[in-house]
Every structure is written in structure tokens, then in C-alpha cells.
Structure 1
Amino acid sequence: MKKLSIKLLAVALGLASGAVMAQESPWLVRARAVHIDTANKSDPVGGVGAANLIRVESKTIPELDVSYFLTPNIAAELILTYPQKHDVTLDGAKIGSFKHLPPTLTLQYHFAPAQTFSPYVGAGLNYTRISKVRLLDGAGDLENDSWGGALQAGFDVKLDRNWSLNVDVKKVQIRSDVYVSGARASKVKVDPVLFGIGVGYRF
């Protein structure tokens, strides 16, 4: 009986050890190409009834995000990039540019993390730092900071134990007051939809 108990204990320890080794790391890193499709809604410059509308260009940028799985289904994701430059137009004519750095933190729910196809949804907070504003030959300016919500949906397709393909869509709230010669002239709602595709690596 004693020998049998020792053998059973050894088998149990072996199975437990194998289960621990089979567990995935909680860290997932992705690199994406992201197209920023700006909503481009603004108050008319000059007040109600004016036709002068400000537009911020759409563009494609590189993005890096880091996810940490708190549970097999719930993950926190930090979305990063470097400061991006956007041209600004007024009724189709370029009036300058600015740079923005928009780190975003979301909490996600992954519906089938152990499956080859794993969809997810997320929600969180965006902080955008606006810098190097050059509008109207120095007469124009923007707020330095923007806080807003973020919604997210996407899916991962596993290629092997570590690598996966990723498709991701986010709606981010980015807004700023526009000043001309120190006076508020308009409010720009950039509010972009971000379409991303890339690869992920699970450590």
C-alpha cells in the first residue's frame, strides 16, 4: 500500500508539473499597423451659422501594445505609439499641424482564449498629449491635454503556441478647444476609429 501511495503521489506531482508548464504566460505583446480614421467634427470657426470647419487628417501609424492577463479571460492592455504628426485644414486649406501622443488603457474580456479563434471586447480610458502646435502662423493653438473614453473589439487567430494574428478596432474620444490669438474659436472632435492589423507574441 505504501509503495502504491508513493507511485500515485509521483504521478500526481508529474501531472501537476506538466499542467504548470502548459500554462501560458500572462504577457502578450502585439505590433500593429493602425489606420486612424478621424471623425472630423468641429464647431464652425466664427460661431453658429459659419461654414468654416476644421479638419484633422487621417493617417496610418505603427502601434505597440502590451497585454497582461489577470485571468484566462480578462486582460489589461496598454496601447502605445510615438508622437504622431497630423495636418490641419480649414475648409480644405492647410492651416498648420500638431503632434499628439495617445496612450490608451483598456480592460478586455476574451471569449475563447484557449481556442484558435479568440474574439474579445474592451473598454477603457485614453489620454492624449498634444504638442508642437503650429496653426495659422503661430496665431492658433490647441489644448495640451485630452481625456476620453475608448471602446474596443477584435480577435486573435493562433498560429502556434506563441504567435498569433490580430485584427482590432477601437473608437477613441479625442477632443480639443481651438484658440486664435488667445480667444476660443472652435472645438475639434477628432474622435477617431482605429483599424488595426498585426501580430502578437505570447511569452
Structure 2
Amino acid sequence: MRKFTLSALCLTGAALLPFAHAHEQGDWLVRGGLTTVAPDETSSNIIAGGGDLGVALTIDNDSQFGINVAYFITDNINIELLAATPFKHQVNFSLPDPLGTGNQLGEVTHLPPTLTANYYFNDSSAALQPYIGAGINYTFIYDESFTSTNSDAGLTDLSLDNSFGLSAQIGLDYKIDEVWHINGSVRYIDIDTEATFNVGEAKGSVNNIEIDPWVYTVSVGYTF
């Protein structure tokens, strides 16, 4: 009776555990969830009309719906594309009110598609599937604009260059069953740009803006 009871308990416990199955060559993963871009920015000072204003720029965080698609070329290696709905960031002065127009300078919108090769430390008996990866990023920056107060003060034609850089990430899949999983990842992306604008008839610029964000994603994934 004791042997039967022990066996029954073991079977019950096994049934309550998630079905663990490592990713395999030929698998497609599609994930959707929340992605946050948190800039770790530094920038050179703002030059306006040939003079140094003595202040730099800061850029705030933004969260959007993130999508990524991955294909396993081997049991341990996949190629992953990160995409998302457009991120919009407030661009602020590093010191309050240098132009007498308020702390916020303007807004920029960007899309940061990132292509990554990931290596999975597969264990077919484990529900947790950790991985590391490295890749490349191309950030499209568009819809740059000054606040209405700054526009009224004569600041116009804000433009930021697109950026090409490297990226790295660590992540973890938690296998719920044969096809569903929960994913969490942290990326570091090298995003550098330059800004130009007009101050009345004069030219202005910020020659080096290192945005370099940490990108955090929590998502739900499906395996085909």
C-alpha cells in the first residue's frame, strides 16, 4: 500500500509540472508583449548660433508593444528579429530652462529593429531555457519636433540622424507546455546620433548623442 501511495504521489507531482521540451532546429517562435526602452544617454553640449549653451540633452523612457520572431537554425542557435510599435521620447535640457522656454526641448519618435543571433543552453528536461545573444541594430529616427514654446522662441527644423550599431542580450524562456512559453530579456543597444536645428537664422547642433538604451521585454511566445 505504501509503495502504491508513493507511486501515485510521484505521478501526481509529475502531472503538475510544466511539460518541458527544448527548442529544436526548424522551430519558429513568435512573441508579443511589453518592451521598454530606457536610454542611458550622454551628449555633448548644445551649440547654438556659434556659442556653447553649457547644457546637454537627456531623453526619457518609453514602453510599447514589442514583437519578435525567431527561427532555430540548429537546436541551440536561433536568429531573432525584434520589432515594436514606434517609441516616442521626450528630449529635455540637462539643466532647467537655459533658454527661458521650460525644461522640455521637444520629442522624437524612432523604430529600433534589431537582428540577433542567440545561443540556447538547452536542457531537454528543463522548463527554463536561458540564452545569450549578440547582433546589429538600425534605428530609424523620425517625426522630430520642438515643443510649441520652443518653436515660438525661434527653434525650428530639428533633425536627428539614424543610427547603426551593435547589440547584446540575455534572456530566458519558461516553457508552459509544448507550444507556449513566457519570455523575459534584457538588451543593450549602441545608438549614437547627431542633432541639427535652426535658432532663427542661425544654425544649432549637438554633435554627439549617445542614447545607448537598455531594452527590457516581457512577452508570451508561441512555437510553430
Normalised to the residue count of structure 1, the TM-score between the two structures is 0.82
2:109 is the counterpart of 1:99? yes
For residue 54 of structure 1, the aligned residue among 41, 57, 62 is 57
Number of positions where the alignment pairs a residue of Structure 1 with one of Structure 2: 182
Tell me which of 139, 149, 155 is aligned to 1:128: 139
Kindly report which structure 2 residues correspond to 1:19-168, keeping only aligned pairs within 5 A, or say none: 25-46=26-47, 51-90=54-93, 91-92=95-96, 93-112=103-122, 114=124, 115-135=126-146, 136-137=150-151, 139-168=156-185
Q: Kindly state the Cα deviation for residue 51 of structure 1 after the two structures are TM-superposed.
A: 3.6
Q: Secondary structure at the match of 1:139?
A: strand
Q: What's the CA shift string for 1:103-131, capped at 9, x where partnerless?
A: 10000001116331110000000001111
Distance 1:140 1:176, change over 3 A: farther
Identity of aligned residues (%): 30
What is the root-mean-square deviation of aligned Cα atoms in Å? Answer: 2.3
1:198 matched to 2:219: yes
Unaligned runs of 5+ in 2: 1-23, 97-102
Partners of 2:43 and 2:206 within 8 A in 1: no
- Structure 1 gaps of 5+ residues are 1-22
Q: 1:170 to 1:142 in 2, by over 3 A?
A: same
Report deviation, 1:27: 0.3
- Give the direction of change, closer, same or farther, for the CA distance of 1:102–1:148 in structure 2 (3 Å limit): same
Q: 2:18 — aligned with what?
A: none
- Report Cα offsets for 1:145-166 as digits up to 9, x if no partner: 1101110101101000001111
2-structure distance, mates of 1:112, 1:27: 16
> Bigger CA drift: 86-95 or 181-190?
181-190
TM-score normalised according to structure 2 size:
0.74
Distance 1:171 1:82 in 2: 19
Letter in 2 for 1:105: L
